[in-house]
Amino acid sequence: MTHFSHHVLAINQAADAILKHKVNSLQVIPAVAIKLLRLTHDENANVGDLSLLIETEPTLTAKVLRNVNSAAFALTHKVTSIKRAVNILGFSAVRQLALNQLFYNKLIDHKSKQQFDQLFFWQHCLFVASLSRAIATVLKHPDPDLIYTAGLMHDIGKIVLEAHGKVSYSDFILACKNDEQPTLLGEQDFFGLNHAEMGYTFCQQWDIPEQISAIVYCHHELPDDNSPFAIYKRDIAIVNFANYIAWLQGIGSIARNNPPELHSETSKYLAIEKLDLETLLNHVDREMQHTREFYGIQFPNINRLRAALVQTTLLLSTHNKRNSNARIHTDDISITSLTTPHKSLISSEIVPWTLTVIQKDFAFERLLMLDINPKQRSLAATYTWPETLDKNSLQAFSVKLDELPSTILSSLRERNAIIINTHNNKNSSILKQFGVEEFLIVPVLSHNRLVALLYADKHKTNTPMTEYCVNQILPIIHELGVALANAKRFALEKKRAELDSLTGLLNKRMVTDCLTQTFELKPEQLSKVAVGFIDIDFFKKFNDTCGHQAGDDVLKIVAQIMRTLTRPSDFIGRYGGEEFVFVLRNTDKQGAYSYAERIRQEIERKGIILSQRFQGHTLTVSIGVSLYRPDFTNYQEMVEVADSAMYDAKHDGRNCIKIK
């Protein structure tokens, strides 16, 4: 059995565990809609087949004809039969009308006061479907209608969980109130699988065409080359992009402030920079206007300036290929310059050392590493040569990306180094801000992703820079990018070795290290330390009754709550089994109790919400806290007192806190 087959088996089991009924017995979308989807991929299907299928549903027939005869199609004569409608409008248009009507009737045609707004969800799906098809048409995709259907269904997993989960998607949104945003990882912790996996399971069980199933499964993350869905990468990229644009416009499937990430390979398959976004979005606007009028729903108005805003955002999140035409000369570069980036696996050493050797080779008078902050959409100097540069002077280099001239933005898109000088009037503002007549910008790439910019100038002597100098520096910056990627990988592996693989919290070894370091603090600091033990009540019941996967999910839920409610200066970790530890610094008895009580209450609250998922078992914890005393000679004594307090909480009825 392949790795993917194992994964599919696991998500099928997770789906069965979280749903009230088996997936193949759920009527999430009408049977007629399923038949329409299958009919699309039947090479022998004809007008008669489509007409007959729609006409078997009298209500559907009436609504499709009403739509066909609406002002949107501006027909001169009234159409009274489905077959006539197909002949006039075409197989594709009528099939789309029928699908839209069926989905709307089943998913949306009722009032909902839940956290998960199904009307908002429907608007999102229509927008993604419409934009996906428009893009597919521009790209000359052989079947834009299939892409439309995939866009319509991409988030079907959310509807399945909302309508048929033992705990609903509304429950998930409600449970996220203390988190920043609902995420795929949050879904995984809450349900045992995310909405894309739930959607794929539904498509698989209901024999939805593989191409659509693949898009549903991968619409947030393009598959790797070894995936069975790799052949559909361009199709998936289209829906991934349309979904991203929908969120940028505030047309998400749920209330969420930030859009999902645009996958790094999406640009590779779509050539995003060449798409006429204004035309595409205007086309979608017209389709959505028709939908709003027909269904009587409200949809956000979108103005023409939107396309420019989207294009600017895309410059920050898409990753185009490097310019392959740049000639690189290494004749005059010292071997030291090329090897220095690889002398360490720590970024804070790699960058300063590399800046130093670049200065030596090229006699630059000022060098800066400008990191890109994607959230603030700005540049900031993180490392400099010389290191003694005045901090006030560096403020000039904290620049919003939107404020950069088009000359620099163009070089970022193309991954090119560029000399910025007075030869182009567009550069005057940035040159004045930096206080120079000329400077060099070189993109620093890691795995072909833009991670930073190297800035260099000769602001004292104003010695002109040459293209030859640019070509000379490129191989050094290439090695710097490779070294930074290695450093990042090393940091991740190091972090992985420090974390519990299931919960992502510190493992027991690291908790022990933290406790050891804590007991090396000065007495006045130690007097403000508290150590706590958290133990899940009746944990064995979750394992025995609901299975070990449920037990793992419970551990992850507790870990996530602790992570959310803990200050960066404090430590939390998994001590083993169902036990967790926290180490609080700069606190007192009241502060330690308040922290423990917030955790206890939040776990109890989420436990009540999730009780149906865990067959009636309510998740709670018992917490024991130890406050530092001068008679403690080592951390083990303090841990033992906290452990003893936790057992006192168990004996007092559980779901409570004891402090010693």
Can you give the three-state secondary structure of 374-409, one letter per residue? CCCCEEEEEEEECCCCCHHHHHHHCEEHHHCCHHHH
Model confidence at 323, pLDDT cuts 50, 70, 90, reads: very low
338-342, 449-453, 499-503: least confident range:
338-342
pLDDT of residue 303: 45
Percent share of the chain, pLDDT over 70 = 77
- The arithmetic mean of pLDDT across residues 226-248, rounded, is 90
Beta-bridge partners for 533: 581, 624
Task: Give yes or no for residue 166 having a pLDDT over 80.
Answer: yes
- C-alpha 28/C-alpha 129 separation (Å) is 19
CB 583 within 8 A of CB 525: no
Which of the pair, 283 or 177, is modelled with greater confidence? 283
Task: Give yes or no for residue 329 having a pLDDT over 50.
Answer: no
What phi and psi values does residue 111 have, to the nearest 5 degrees? -80, 140
- The arithmetic mean of pLDDT across residues 492-512, rounded, is 86
- The arithmetic mean of pLDDT across residues 133-156, rounded, is 88
Catalytically active residues, by annotation: 578
Q: Please, what is the Cα angle at 192 between 187 and 193, to 5 degrees?
A: 60
* pLDDT tens-digit readout, 569-591: 899 999 989 999 999 999 999 99
pLDDT of residue 262: 77
pLDDT of residue 622: 97
The structural domains of the chain, with segments of one domain joined by +, span 21-109, 113-319, 335-495, 508-659
Burial of 528-552, coded b for 16+ CB within 10 Å and e otherwise, reads bbbbbbbbbbebeebbeebeeebbb
| Most trustworthy range by pLDDT among 26-30, 182-186, 493-497 | 182-186
37-41, 210-214, 219-223: least confident range:
37-41
Model confidence at 88, pLDDT cuts 50, 70, 90, reads: low
pLDDT of residue 96: 67
Task: Give yes or no for residue 153 having a pLDDT over 80.
Answer: yes
Q: Taking the mean position of all CA atoms in its chain, how far away is CA 114?
A: 24
Beta-bridge partners for 532: 582, 625
Give the tokens for residue 581: 């530890």
Task: Give yes or no for residue 555 having a pLDDT over 90.
Answer: yes
Identical fold for domains 113-319 and 508-659, yes or no, is: no
Model confidence at 108, pLDDT cuts 50, 70, 90, reads: low
Percent share of the chain, pLDDT over 90 = 34
Terminal Cα distance for the chain, rounded: 53
pLDDT of residue 451: 87
Q: What is the mean pLDDT of the chain?
A: 81
* pLDDT tens-digit readout, 69-79: 776 666 777 77
89-103, 116-130, 217-231, 550-564: least confident range:
89-103
pLDDT of residue 67: 66
- C-alpha 49/C-alpha 208 separation (Å) is 19
Give the tokens for residue 187: 């879904």
Q: Taking the mean position of all CA atoms in its chain, how far away is CA 394?
A: 32
Q: Please, what is the Cα angle at 610 between 605 and 613, to 5 degrees?
A: 170
Q: What's the one-letter identity of residue 521?
A: L
Burial of 326-346, coded b for 16+ CB within 10 Å and e otherwise, reads eeeeeeebeeebbebbeebbe
Q: Measure Cα distances from 2 to 5, 10, 212, 221, 256 in Å.
A: 5, 12, 22, 20, 36
Which of the pair, 625 or 284, is modelled with greater confidence? 625
Torsion of CA 637, 639, 642, 647, to 10 degrees: -100
Topology annotation, domain 508-659: Alpha-Beta Plaits (3.30.70)
- The arithmetic mean of pLDDT across residues 516-541, rounded, is 93
pLDDT of residue 215: 95
pLDDT of residue 233: 94
Task: Give yes or no for residue 157 having a pLDDT over 60.
Answer: yes
- The arithmetic mean of pLDDT across residues 522-528, rounded, is 91
pLDDT of residue 27: 56
Residue among 159, 186, 344, 322 nearest 253 (CA): 159
Architecture of domain 113-319: Orthogonal Bundle (1.10)
Q: What's the one-letter identity of residue 209?
A: P
Give the tokens for residue 310: 């989207």
- The arithmetic mean of pLDDT across residues 304-311, rounded, is 44
pLDDT of residue 582: 96
pLDDT of residue 10: 86
Strand, helix or coil for residue 499: strand
* pLDDT tens-digit readout, 345-385: 888 899 999 999 999 889 999 999 999 887 788 888 889 99
- The arithmetic mean of pLDDT across residues 249-268, rounded, is 72
Residue among 358, 378, 388 nearest 455 (CA): 358
CB 601 within 8 A of CB 620: no
- The arithmetic mean of pLDDT across residues 102-109, rounded, is 56
Q: Taking the mean position of all CA atoms in its chain, how far away is CA 256?
A: 12
- The arithmetic mean of pLDDT across residues 378-396, rounded, is 85
pLDDT of residue 253: 75
pLDDT of residue 324: 36
pLDDT of residue 186: 85
Burial of 375 (0-12, 13-18, 19+ CB in 10 A): exposed
What phi and psi values does residue 165 have, to the nearest 5 degrees? -75, 150
Task: Give yes or no for residue 327 having a pLDDT over 50.
Answer: no
| Most trustworthy range by pLDDT among 212-221, 268-277, 396-405, 462-471 | 212-221
Task: Give yes or no for residue 321 having a pLDDT over 50.
Answer: no
Q: Which CATH number is correct for 335-495, 3.40.50.1580, 3.30.450.40, 3.30.530.20, 3.30.479.30?
A: 3.30.450.40
- C-alpha 52/C-alpha 55 separation (Å) is 5
Q: Measured over all CA atoms, what is the biggest interatomic distance in the chain, rounded to whole angstroms?
A: 95
Task: Give yes or no for residue 319 having a pLDDT over 50.
Answer: no
pLDDT of residue 280: 87
Which of the pair, 236 or 395, is modelled with greater confidence? 236
- The arithmetic mean of pLDDT across residues 632-642, rounded, is 93
CB 502 within 8 A of CB 548: no
235-244, 259-268, 436-445, 528-537: least confident range:
259-268
Contacts of 126 (CB under 8 A, 6+ apart): 100, 152, 287, 288, 291
pLDDT of residue 579: 95
| Most trustworthy range by pLDDT among 338-342, 475-479, 643-647 | 643-647
pLDDT of residue 410: 87
